[in-house]
A and B are shown apart, each in its own frame.
Chain A
Amino acid sequence: DADVTQTPRNRITKTGKRIMLECSQTKGHDRMYWYRQDPGLGLRLIYYSFDVKDINKGEISDGYSVSRQAQAKFSLSLESAIPNQTALYFCATSDATVEEEKLFFGSGTQLSVL
């Protein structure tokens, strides 16, 4: 979804480096999410935030941290990258109405940790 922008699109880093992945959205949604996807597998939830003051751990939060700087911005950090954090990372937002709630995803960041 073009309204959910992830930067960078690709990143190669070395073990032990700190790295930040950024996500910004123009949809005006309160809820934002970070997922990782490994080849051939489904998406696993890292962190999610239901508003600026709310941060929640997902199923695989160890080794990651997040910052919700504003409604539109949600950053994911790897404090000390390790090779098994090599994956495709997706940011998403969600919009809930009375009848429906759906996720909108960014284009992803391919991260390689050497």
Chain B
Amino acid sequence: LAKTTQPISMDSYEGQEVNITCSHNNIATNDYITWYQQFPSQGPRFIIQGYKTKVTNEVASLFIPADRKSSTLSLPRVSLSDTAVYYCLVGPLYGQNFVFGPGTRLSVLP
């Protein structure tokens, strides 16, 4: 499985757009990029998944450059409730034994 690197922590203010970048230099051809969100004492929750270019859903966007060696999770107009840990995972569908790194701890300030 491809190793990922994310910032340990980030701070933001309410209403701002937050971009969290994940590096995955040894991503394989059949690997997908997936992001999860975790609140304290809760299990992680799926946010978004993509393979290339841009994916958008109701809560976030995922930007993946052509070389796929990194990806950026974009959270538009964050609120205090977006304070959480965000994990970037890289691996294939159908047989991926999901491996979580330490994630990025996002703190949204008023």
Contact = CB atoms under 8 A, between A and B. Distances in A.
A41 interface: yes
A88 B43 CA distance: 10
Given A101-B96, A108-B41, A41 B102 contact: yes
A1 B100 CA distance: 18
B110 interface: no
A107 B44 CA distance: 9
Contacts of A107: 42-43
B94 A101 contact: yes
A74 interface: no
A100 B47 CA distance: 12
A42 B87 contact: yes
B41 A103 contact: no
A101 B99 contact: no
A64 interface: no
A114 interface: no
A59 B97 CA distance: 10
Contacts of A41: 102
Contact of B93 (A1, A42, A48, A96): A96
Contact of A102 (B41, B49, B85): B49
A108 to B, nearest CB: 6
B44 A102 contact: no
A106 B100 CA distance: 16
Contacts of A96: 93-94
B98 A45 contact: yes
Nearest to A100: B49
Nearest to B105: A40
Contacts of B46: 102-104
Interface in A67-114: 88, 90, 92, 94, 96, 100-108, 110
A43 B42 contact: no
A96 B34 CA distance: 13
Contacts of A44: 100
A101 B97 contact: no
Interface of A: 1, 4, 33, 35, 41-45, 48, 50, 56, 58-59, 88, 90, 92, 94, 96, 100-108, 110
